[in-house]
Structure 1
Amino acid sequence: MKSNIIPTSSKQSGLRGGRALLVGAGLALLASAVAVRYKTQQAEMKNPPTGRFIDVDGVRLHYVERGHGQPLVLLHGNGSMTRDFELSGIVDLAADDYRVIVFDRPGYGHSERPRSTIWSPQAQAGLLHQALQKLGVERPIIVGHSWGTLVALAMALEFPSAVRSLVLLSGYYYPTARLDVPLLSVPAVPVVGDVLRYTVSPLISRAMWPGILKQLFGPAQMPQHFEEFPVWMVLRPSQLRASAAESAMMIPAANTLSKRYRELKMPVIIRCGEDDRIVDAHEQSGRLHREIPQSDVVLTPGIGHMIHHLVPHQVMEAIDQAAKASQPARVVSEHVHRASTHLN
């Protein structure tokens, strides 16, 4: 009869192996944490705030302001910051005719994001509305890109008399099945997400960055000016948490807001790349246009998610169209249009 007794020497060897594995994993996490901390400090030193700060309800918001004229507010997407709009050229182009205000949304760039608040589109809309009131901004044109379109829509729905018109770029407006959401949301999970954000998540994200850019810009090539984008600023643990939280919130936020789109009365100008790899242009932008009578939509073929970088002059034309539109708005389009493939 065979014995099931494991020799003491084998048990001790197994225990030693397990301890060695735990020690090795701990040292690897420690090394990752040191590297992430160094990269974070280096990124913040190289990219100090270029704008001003305003305190609203105990939240310190960073914003960049340029130009004079009709107020124009720019809201960046998930995982981004004010630098995104600056690099695209939109800020320089718009500052000739508009008072341009670009916010770092809560948790991004140099803006705070208190963990005591669930920063839904409605919560961000309320905060930014108060910020604009403090800045003396009345009835601005609101431009939102990607996740920023949800905040722009929330502002228009919650404070309709305070918004002149909307320009929505590459937005996600209706709930759909998204396989990427569970993966992208992990860094926002309490405890486990906190550990990952300060150790391996930034390093993994940096290794994936070239592939992420192909998804964002494809099928077009990434413009050379985007090489100046401060990658490590968006990979900091604090910003990764904001980004993950918004990924988790995206589907329910779109579900809630989509029930109210017909309440919108101001002009709505919709622009997107027809070949967007992040959101389906026809399913999202095309559907929104059909639901809002006073909207105008253009789908540009050969263009991906980062439309403001690839065709900035088309975006400026949309902003000018929003500025000229009267209120109550006239119906500016009855069909989905396709823009030319010319890249500015």
Structure 2
Amino acid sequence: MIFLHGLGSFSGEILSAFTTQPPAGRYIAVDRPGYGFSDPLPAAASGPDAQAGWLERVLDAMEIRTAVIVAHSIGAATALHFASQRPERVAGLLLLAPYGRPTRPAFVPLLRAAMLPLIGGPLRRLIRAAPSRFARAKLATVFYPNAVPARFRRFPFRHVTRSRALLAIGYELRGYNQAMMRLSLRLRQIQAPTVILAGNKDRIAQSERHAFWLASRLPKADLILLPRVGHMPHHAAPKVADRALRRLIGTTGITCGITCGSKQGLGGFRP
């Protein structure tokens, strides 16, 4: 099982929600390009379509032929592109609060300013010097209406606000819309068993705009909509997320061995 985190996060965050032993294989979480300890992709090739090529190189390096992919938020865009490009390598998809519909990026003036040639560098250094000022408000927004779990007090804010991580956010958003417009024409060809887990109070990837839209186009998708849950369903309802993953694995027939991978990336953030 390969875990792909969302925007502005890192591998340890998504993996920390899945704390029980996997029914088969291993849980492998990777930092997407530019985040955590991963090298960034070129600025002009940072969209989800290019990240699908990066994901294939990751699987090749780990000698993984096929995998169940668990992806949160905009990480779902990479998972969907990979399922479209390399269907034989995807045993199943668990999409958590997926951000997968062609959507013009939101106006985020601070992020846009942080990417400008002259003032971008100093501004990124300012954000990194005082990350808690920005992070607390961001966490509250991302988790709304759910409480931020206590373990997120140990969330490594300085790690995820490094300059290249902030640039990775901006470049990823720049490449998102065109890539997803092209993919929208091929979504019905994706045959991987898919479970979509979303909250009906999500203000970031609104379920009626993203989760329902994807469920209506992916031929083998089941949608689980959680009441009173926001953009972090895997943390707000971890038992539901765990059951959904186990059910998905059960439909794939995936077993241990080289198919399941040979390495595990746990990151540094654990519950």
TM-score, normalised via structure 1 length: 0.68
Q: Which of 188, 192, 196 is equivalent to 1:266?
A: 192
Task: Structure 2: state its 5+ residue gaps.
Answer: 254-271
AA paired with 1:73?
A: I
Structure 1 SS opposite 2:26? strand
Instruction: State the alpha-carbon separation in 2 of the partners of residues 108 and 326 from structure 1.
Output: 30
Aligned partner of 2:263 in structure 1 is none
Q: Which of 249, 253, 256 is equivalent to 2:175?
A: 249
Instruction: State the alpha-carbon separation in 1 of the partners of residues 43 and 140 from structure 2.
Output: 35
Q: Which of 308, 318, 328 is equivalent to 2:244?
A: 318
Structure 2 SS opposite 1:99? coil
AA paired with 1:155?
A: F
Aligned partner of 2:31 in structure 1 is 104
Deviation at 1:319, TM superposition (A): 1.2
Q: After superposition, where does 1:158-177 map in structure 2 within 5 Å?
A: 158-177=85-104
Q: Which has the larger radius of gyration?
A: 1
AA paired with 2:136?
A: P
Structure 1, 92-101 or 264-273: larger mean CA deviation = 92-101
Task: Structure 1: state its 5+ residue gaps.
Answer: 1-71, 328-344
Aligned partner of 1:34 in structure 2 is none
Aligned partner of 2:9 in structure 1 is 80
Instruction: State the alpha-carbon separation in 1 of the partners of residues 65 and 105 from structure 2.
Output: 37
Structure 1, 282-291 or 114-123: larger mean CA deviation = 114-123
Instruction: State the alpha-carbon separation in 2 of the partners of residues 75 and 113 from structure 1.
Output: 15
> What CA deviation, in whole Å up to 9, does each residue of 1:75-110 have, x standing for no partner?
00111111202432x1x3244533111101111111
Aligned partner of 1:25 in structure 2 is none
Aligned partner of 1:137 in structure 2 is 64
Q: After superposition, where does 1:62-73 map in structure 2 within 5 Å?
A: 72-73=1-2
Asked if the contact 1:171–1:284 (Cα under 8 Å) also holds between the matched residues in 2, the reply is: yes
Return closer, same or farther for 1:179/1:114 CA change in 2, 3 Å cut-off.
closer
Instruction: State the alpha-carbon separation in 1 of the partners of residues 117 and 158 from structure 2.
Output: 23
Structure 2 SS opposite 1:111? coil
Structure 2 SS opposite 1:308? helix
Aligned length: 253
Deviation at 1:193, TM superposition (A): 2.4
Return closer, same or farther for 1:197/1:281 CA change in 2, 3 Å cut-off.
same
More RCO (CA 8 Å, sep 6+): 2
Structure 2 SS opposite 1:143? strand
Q: Given the alignment of the two structures, is residue 212 of structure 1 paired with residue 141 of structure 2, yes or no?
A: no
Instruction: State the alpha-carbon separation in 2 of the partners of residues 175 and 86 from structure 1.
Output: 27
Aligned partner of 1:119 in structure 2 is 46
Deviation at 1:236, TM superposition (A): 1.3
Instruction: State the alpha-carbon separation in 2 of the partners of residues 156 and 283 from structure 1.
Output: 21
Return closer, same or farther for 1:93/1:243 CA change in 2, 3 Å cut-off.
same
Instruction: State the alpha-carbon separation in 1 of the partners of residues 106 and 11 from structure 2.
Output: 28
Instruction: State the alpha-carbon separation in 2 of the partners of residues 74 and 118 from structure 1.
Output: 21
TM-score, normalised via structure 2 length: 0.85
Instruction: State the alpha-carbon separation in 2 of the partners of residues 74 and 307 from structure 1.
Output: 15
> What CA deviation, in whole Å up to 9, does each residue of 1:282-301 have, x standing for no partner?
11101111112311001101
Aligned partner of 2:76 in structure 1 is 149
Structure 1 SS opposite 2:168? helix
Asked if the contact 1:81–1:104 (Cα under 8 Å) also holds between the matched residues in 2, the reply is: yes
Asked if the contact 2:3–2:71 (Cα under 8 Å) also holds between the matched residues in 1, the reply is: yes
AA paired with 1:221?
A: A
Aligned partner of 1:51 in structure 2 is none
Asked if the contact 2:48–2:172 (Cα under 8 Å) also holds between the matched residues in 1, the reply is: no
AA paired with 2:158?
A: W
Q: Which of 289, 292, 295 is equivalent to 2:218?
A: 292
Aligned partner of 1:304 in structure 2 is 230
Asked if the contact 1:185–1:247 (Cα under 8 Å) also holds between the matched residues in 2, the reply is: no
Measured on the aligned residues, the alpha-carbon RMSD in Å equals 2.1
Return closer, same or farther for 1:94/1:105 CA change in 2, 3 Å cut-off.
farther
State, as a whole percentage, how many aligned pairs show the same letter: 32
Asked if the contact 2:111–2:166 (Cα under 8 Å) also holds between the matched residues in 1, the reply is: no
Instruction: State the alpha-carbon separation in 2 of the partners of residues 215 and 262 from structure 1.
Output: 32
